[in-house]
Structure 1
Amino acid sequence: MYYIGFDIGSSSIKVALVEIATGKSIGVVQEPETEMSMLAIKNGWAEQKPEDWWKHSCNAIAKLKKNYGIASEQIKGIGISYQMHGLVLVDKNGQSLRPSIIWCDSRAVAIGQQAFETLGEEKCNEHLLNSPSNFTASKLKWVKENEPEIYSQVHKFMLPGDYLAFRFSNTINTTISGLSEGIFWDFKKDDIADILLTHYGIDFNLIPDIVPTFGLQSQVDAKGAQESGLAEGTPIFYRAGDQPNNALSLNVFNPGEVAATGGTSGVVYAVTDSLSVKESARVNNFAHVNYTKGADPRIGKLLCINGAGIQYRWLLNNLAVSSYDEMNTLAEGVEVGSDGVAIIPFGNGAERMLNNQDLGTRLVNVNLNNHTKAHLCRAALEGIAFSFIYGMEIMKADGIEIKVMRAGNDNLFRSPIFANTIAIVMNCEIQIYNTTGAIGAARAAGLHEGDFEKFGKNITENDYVMSYKPLPNQKSYQEAYQNWKKELELILNRD
């Protein structure tokens, strides 16, 4: 018997099967095999048709069943992960009224900033734990202001994962974690954020019913079964945004546990039980998947670093090297600190953790007689690692304790230089796991039974790869970080 997990990204839909008894991943497929299309009618806009998510999900189900010889009746539960902060609007018949305004669309920035200034930083921090910023509530306000004929037809708004669940079940609902990512949740009142909805003039009736993150949320109906190929009555047991789900996939639930990703951009997601907010302008705060109303809070603090793996990829494309493996080998031949060469890797747009400054990439202290491409490779890996450390220092100032960091076995964390640098400077263990968001979502379908110990055991037994632990020779790493930080702060103070 199996659980099936969906991960709705902006480039593709990934779907995974896991065996219920062992938690073992049976297979993962991606649809489409090439990248999904994205509409960009104006600069800064980004939209996708929610119907495409459904079409590709159905195609992926068919592929999984065929590839692994699985019958619909063998799939006993559904888990869903999805791209955060998207907005889907449907009418009374469940038809989408416009393309989804997805996470990377920036049209509502000014609306969120105006709300932040009007409501005040103190009230936003106390109640919302965030600035309204460019999140889902602000996007809904944009539709109200700019597309009133569409807004007048809205029956419910949904997040992308809510929409997929709706297409399976013809039932519209959402979760507290989902509402919090859209800035629809008031953490002080532990209820719907009426201060923001009233400010925006948004009808409270547009909010879907709230269901637990883990539990019976809905079931596949006859139409959903016919279109998807899953059996009628198959329960939907779990739903969460991609970053909380990534943390779940790495068994990150408790204060002191941190999840990280090191792809084109970097993410650090730390769990805390504190509602205190000091860095809401630079760090986002959401209800984690195990947040429960009326209980001790579980908050996920999210730090995003735009300039991460894209820096290393740029070097790959512009140095006389053939692969990342070659670059890593070159870097290993250079001592810690890259002989003074430093790369400030912020070349992928404005950095929220730097108060939205766009510094670009900076290469400093290069001696044309002594330094080679090997120094650049090492300096890039160290510079990206140092940017993670700089961000984690911000999070620690905001009350985060870092006992252990867990990351997927991909991209930057496959580099010992990168991972060891963070482990040593931050004095924390980094555990590497070979898992994905779709696998995590499938496993999470089993958490409706409440057995978190079994869930964690499945991750350890099936996915654990290795650990990086703090080494005794920390001084050279600490000195290298302080030198890099000094260069960064010179730029920040000058600019």
Structure 2
Amino acid sequence: MYSIGYDLGSSSIKVALIDSATGKSIKTVQEPAQEMEILALHSDWAEQSPETWWKHICKATRDIIKDTGVDKNLITAIGISYQMHGLVLIDKKGKTLRNAIIWCDSRAVDLGKEAYEKLGHDWCATHLLNSPGNFTASKLNWVKNNEPEIYKQAYKLLLPGDYIAYKLTGQYATTINGLTEGTLWDYSSNSVATGLLDHYNLDHSLIPVITQNFTNQGNITKDAAIETGLTTNATVRYRSGDQPNNALSLNILKPGEVAATAGTSGVIYAVTDQKHFKEISKVNQFAHVNYTRENATVGRLLNINGCGIQYRWLKNTFNEVSYNDMNTQAATAPIGSDGLVALPFGNGAERMLDNKNIGTQFLDINLNIHGKSHMYRAALEGIAFSFVYGMEILKNDQTQVTVIRAGNDNLFRSEIFATTVATLIGQEIEIYDTTGAVGAARATLIIDNNFTPFSKAIKGNDHIKTIRPIKDNKAYKKAYLNWKKKLLDTINTL
């Protein structure tokens, strides 16, 4: 038997096929070949077409079945990972009413701030474990205020993964994990966050039915089977936002365990069993994938919007052939990039900076010294320093760190980046060869919240290496303190 996993990102969709008996990855495909378009009709807006997501899901699924030659009748389970905080609105016929407002869209920031001020820190900390911020609930309120005709036609709101599950099963549903990422869940009452919905004057009926993870969430419909190449024997068994899923993919399940991701955006995701936090406007708290009333594990998610997207911008701007070439050039510059500082925040408002948008900046450029190699190293260091800065916020707000794991992709392939993070945090980083799509596929194997076979599959198949801190860290500390001063000076001028 086989399981399939989808990872719906904002850049591409990855599909993984695994052997259900061993958890071993057989093949992963990506669709489309080039990155998906993000529509920015106005400054700080970001939208994508849900129908485009579905088209790529279908093509990638047909491709992986054809490429591997597996019997489609033996693919029995589906797991879904997806970009978080998005808003998809559908009408009673299941048609989308507008483009999805995705995670990096900042149009609802002011609405979230206003709600936070009126509801108060204590109420938000107790009920939401977050400020309302720029999350799904606030985005829905923006639609109500600015596109009333669309809001009137809305039958259900779906998160991006809920939409894919709907296209597969024909059922409107979400999860507790999903609702927490939209600030649509009340931890105090253990129910939908009607207090926030009422504050925004939002219709409660827009919230779909809540389904449980690691259970049958619906069989594939005949239409979906035709479009994807699967059969109606396959069932959706799991869905999760990409960051909790990435943590699960790295076997991050217990308090003190931390997952780090450095893709288009960067994330530190720390599991805790605490529920009282000060920094709810800088750090997000979401129910982890193994959250239950008895085992109230919460994922503390600190996001860095301006992460790999900055390195990609440099690659495109300077017409570089590959990131490996850039990394090689960066290694010729010294630690600290001879004083060149890069602030990598140029992809919307940064929550860990109190939702300020300070943009990407290269500071203290010396035209007689600095060249491309310095810019590449400064970018890698600036992104790494952002992770260190974020970890300081977490540690100062009762978050323990015992283990850090990361996937062997994106910026963690750069020795400069990975070593800088490990050295300044003073913690080893375990690198695993896994992906969100593989993790979503493996999650379908979890039955009755028994994670033991799942964890064994990860440990047996995926560990590659461990990045260790450099003992002589003086140059790293000096460069970081210089960077941090530049960051704080910039923030204080706003």
Structure 2 matches for 1:261-340, cutoff 5 A?
261-292=261-292, 294-316=293-315, 323-340=322-339
Q: Is the 8 A contact 2:73 2:233 kept in 1?
A: no
Q: Is the 8 A contact 1:216 1:448 kept in 2?
A: no
Corresponding residue for 2:440? 441
Change (3 A) 1:14 1:334: closer
Structure 2 matches for 1:165-314, cutoff 5 A?
165-292=165-292, 294-314=293-313
Deviation larger for 394-403 or 257-266: 257-266
2:80 corresponds to 1:80: yes
Deviations 1:83-117 (A, max 9, x none): 21122223333333333332233333333222222
Corresponding residue for 2:143? 143
Change (3 A) 1:417 1:37: closer
Give distance in 2, aligned partners of 1:221 and 1:341: 56
Q: Is the 8 A contact 1:221 1:233 kept in 2?
A: no
Give distance in 2, aligned partners of 1:210 and 1:86: 17
Corresponding residue for 2:396? 397
Give distance in 2, aligned partners of 1:394 and 1:283: 8
Query: In the TM superposition, what is the alpha-carbon distance from 1:405 to its structure 2 partner?
Result: 1.6
SS of residue in 1 equivalent to 2:444: helix
Give distance in 2, aligned partners of 1:291 and 1:246: 16
Corresponding residue for 2:380? 381
Corresponding residue for 1:458? 457
Deviation larger for 27-36 or 275-284: 27-36
Query: In the TM superposition, what is the alpha-carbon distance from 1:232 to its structure 2 partner?
Result: 1.3
Change (3 A) 1:85 1:348: closer
Query: In the TM superposition, what is the alpha-carbon distance from 1:217 to its structure 2 partner?
Result: 1.5
Change (3 A) 1:345 1:51: closer
Change (3 A) 1:168 1:329: closer
Give distance in 2, aligned partners of 1:370 and 1:142: 48
Give distance in 1, aligned partners of 2:423 and 2:192: 42
Q: Is the 8 A contact 2:104 2:348 kept in 1?
A: no
Unaligned stretches of 5+ in structure 1? none
Give distance in 1, aligned partners of 2:355 and 2:263: 20
SS of residue in 1 equivalent to 2:445: helix
2:415 corresponds to 1:416: yes
2:94 corresponds to 1:94: yes
Deviation larger for 366-375 or 104-113: 366-375
Change (3 A) 1:41 1:324: closer
Q: Is the 8 A contact 1:261 1:408 kept in 2?
A: yes
Number of aligned residue pairs: 494
Query: In the TM superposition, what is the alpha-carbon distance from 1:54 to its structure 2 partner?
Result: 2.4
Deviation larger for 103-112 or 424-433: 103-112
Query: In the TM superposition, what is the alpha-carbon distance from 1:152 to its structure 2 partner?
Result: 3.3
Normalised by the length of structure 2, the TM-score is 0.91
Amino acid at match of 1:32: P
Query: In the TM superposition, what is the alpha-carbon distance from 1:272 to its structure 2 partner?
Result: 1.3
Give distance in 1, aligned partners of 2:488 and 2:109: 27
Query: In the TM superposition, what is the alpha-carbon distance from 1:218 to its structure 2 partner?
Result: 1.5
Change (3 A) 1:136 1:330: closer
Change (3 A) 1:99 1:420: closer
SS of residue in 2 equivalent to 1:393: helix
Deviations 1:373-425 (A, max 9, x none): 55544443323211210111011112211222211212221122221121122
Q: Is the 8 A contact 1:276 1:398 kept in 2?
A: no
Change (3 A) 1:338 1:156: closer
Give distance in 1, aligned partners of 2:107 and 2:188: 28
Q: Is the 8 A contact 2:109 2:355 kept in 1?
A: no
Corresponding residue for 1:10? 10
Query: In the TM superposition, what is the alpha-carbon distance from 1:353 to its structure 2 partner?
Result: 1.9
Give distance in 2, aligned partners of 1:407 and 1:17: 21
2:28 corresponds to 1:48: no
Q: Is the 8 A contact 2:130 2:285 kept in 1?
A: yes
Give distance in 2, aligned partners of 1:313 and 1:143: 31
Corresponding residue for 1:353? 352
SS of residue in 2 equivalent to 1:152: helix
Give distance in 2, aligned partners of 1:126 and 1:392: 23
Query: In the TM superposition, what is the alpha-carbon distance from 1:441 to its structure 2 partner?
Result: 0.7
Change (3 A) 1:331 1:287: same
SS of residue in 2 equivalent to 1:53: helix
Deviation larger for 220-229 or 239-248: 220-229
Deviations 1:116-153 (A, max 9, x none): 22212221122111121221112222333334443333
Q: Is the 8 A contact 1:403 1:429 kept in 2?
A: no
Corresponding residue for 1:406? 405
Give distance in 2, aligned partners of 1:326 and 1:207: 48
Supply the RMSD in Å over aligned alpha carbons: 2.6
Q: Is the 8 A contact 1:10 1:36 kept in 2?
A: yes
2:110 corresponds to 1:110: yes
Deviation larger for 318-327 or 372-381: 318-327
Deviation larger for 101-110 or 433-442: 101-110
Amino acid at match of 2:11: S
Amino acid at match of 1:218: G
Corresponding residue for 2:32? 32
Amino acid at match of 1:246: N
Q: Report % sequence identity.
A: 56
Corresponding residue for 2:480? 481
Change (3 A) 1:76 1:473: same
Deviation larger for 403-412 or 31-40: 31-40
SS of residue in 1 equivalent to 2:251: coil
Q: Is the 8 A contact 2:76 2:233 kept in 1?
A: no
Q: Is the 8 A contact 2:5 2:438 kept in 1?
A: yes
